[in-house]
């Protein structure tokens, strides 16, 4: 009998939603290039613009301010640059201030030189240290150029919600720009680029049930924009040249529309599952450490350390029990080493952490299987001082 699989790694990637799949199948029948002026091209353009509106609604933004990219990493490299334009006038961004818990796509600094990137610490609770951020910004050399601040809205490992609006207020106080990675927030908390006071938001399709290989950079306006990363035929208003990834964009839009709806009820259900699973885990292993449990988190994420169980060993053990989860960020899961998020929080344990993340299709049966698997694995681990 085949082992039944339970997918609890939605923060790594969400399974393709039915709405996205059907939208992409329909799009396969549209032959035109969205840049062509004939009827077939206009039909393709209409489909792309519908998707742009759908993504804009999810972000609380204007459709005209959505630029489609190949994913969040490209969007990050696009926006994280020293070279901006205000109309035709060049504007220099001389330093990037990036929180210590950012995704690698942000932490690498995009097109900034290494010496132009400054790390902003976080508190032991895993929240960006706003006092430290202001101290850094107050000492910024304005004569060299403007500052840029990059803080994610929801951390991909812990699920902790960051004080982005407060960080944005500080960035703007010191004449800077605010970039927000909203990849893990989309569909889990309400997004509004204006309420967040962000200048730019970054989204990824495959985190919300859309296809892989497409994302978006969303701006609050069109006056101050980064120098294009990809030049060519001038698609996406010249911000991102190259023929649009048409079918993926259509799927992205459909997924965004689904995730824009019924947010409170969907996340209430997911949160109830998450809380039930956490209670069972604590009951089975009272020494478990659930990172971020005392602060604001999105409803779907559990990031935990189990003494006596290394993260990579635990990931394999759960996989053998039929449970798919992550040892930290999926983008770094092939690397053995400590989570940079835990390190930033001052937790220098060498065993790392495991991440369970739920989604709209998670069922009660999935939770029951996870509880059973956790009990087995927790019971098998070797605790410090325990005889072999």
Q: Provide the annotated active-site residues.
A: 331
d(CA 129, CA 133): 6
Minimal CA–CA distance to 302: which of 284, 288, 287, 321? 288
- For residue 370 the two structure tokens come to 């996870």
d(CA 278, CA 304): 10
Indicate the pairing of strand 117-120 with strand 83-86: unpaired
Phi, psi (rounded to 5 degrees) for 341: -70, -45
| Type and span of the H or E element at 252 | helix 246-260
User: Exposed e or buried b for every residue in 263-282, given b needs 16+ CB within 10 A?
Assistant: eeebbeebbebbeebbebbe
- For residue 256 the two structure tokens come to 């965004």
Phi, psi (rounded to 5 degrees) for 383: -85, 155
Strand spans (E) along the chain: 6-7, 66-69, 83-86, 89-99, 117-120, 146-150, 177-181, 200-204, 215-219, 224-226, 289-290, 301-305, 323-324, 354-357
What 3-state class would DSSP assign to 144?
Answer: helix
Angle ∠(189,104,184) on CA atoms, nearest 5: 10
Minimal CA–CA distance to 229: which of 70, 33, 53? 70
Q: Mutual orientation of helices 164-173 and 130-138 as an angle, nearest 10°? A: 10
Distant-in-sequence, close-in-space partners of 54: CB < 8 Å, separation ≥ 6: 252, 253, 254, 256, 257, 260
Contact between 179 and 79 (Cβ < 8 Å): yes
């Amino acid at each position: 009998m085949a082992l039944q699989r339970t997918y609890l790694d939605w923060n790594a990637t969400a399974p393709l939603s039915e709405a996205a799949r059907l939208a992409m199948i329909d799009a396969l029948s549209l032959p035109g290039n969205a840049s062509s002026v004939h009827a077939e091209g206009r039909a393709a353009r209409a489909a792309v613009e519908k998707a742009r509106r759908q993504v804009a609604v999810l972000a609380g933004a204007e459709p005209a301010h959505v630029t489609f990219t190949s994913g969040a990493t490209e969007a990050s490299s696009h926006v994280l640059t020293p070279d901006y334009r205000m109309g035709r006038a060049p504007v220099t961004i001389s330093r990037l201030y990036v929180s210590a818990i950012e995704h690698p796509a942000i932490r690498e600094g995009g097109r900034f030189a290494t010496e132009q990137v400054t790390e902003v610490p976080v508190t032991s609770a895993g929240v960006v240290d706003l006092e430290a951020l202001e101290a850094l910004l107050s000492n910024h050399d304005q004569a060299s150029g403007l500052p840029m601040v990059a803080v994610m809205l929801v951390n991909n490992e812990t699920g902790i919600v960051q004080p982005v609006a407060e960080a944005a207020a500080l960035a703007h106080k010191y004449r800077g720009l605010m970039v927000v990675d909203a990849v893990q927030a989309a569909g889990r908390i309400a997004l509004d680029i204006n309420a967040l006071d962000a200048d730019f938001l970054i989204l990824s399709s495959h985190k919300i049930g859309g296809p892989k290989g497409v994302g978006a950079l969303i701006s609050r306006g069109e006056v101050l924009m980064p120098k294009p990363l990809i030049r060519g035929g001038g698609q996406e208003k010249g911000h991102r040249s190259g023929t649009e990834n048409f079918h993926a964009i259509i799927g992205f839009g459909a997924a965004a529309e689904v995730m824009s709806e019924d947010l409170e009820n969907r996340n209430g259900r997911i949160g109830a599952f998450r809380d039930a699973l956490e209670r069972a885990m604590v009951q089975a292993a009272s020494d478990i450490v659930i990172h971020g449990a005392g602060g604001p988190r999105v409803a779907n994420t559990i990031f935990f350390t189990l003494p006596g169980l290394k993260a990579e060993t635990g990931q394999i053990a759960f996989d053998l029990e039929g449970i798919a989860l992550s040892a930290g960020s999926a983008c770094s899961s092939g690397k053995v080493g400590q989570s940079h998020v835990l390190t930033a929080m001052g937790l220098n344990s060498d065993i790392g952490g495991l991440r369970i993340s739920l989604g709209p299709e998670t069922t009660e049966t999935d939770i029951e299987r996870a509880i059973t698997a956790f009990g087995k694995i927790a019971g098998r681990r070797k605790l410090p001082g325990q005889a072999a």
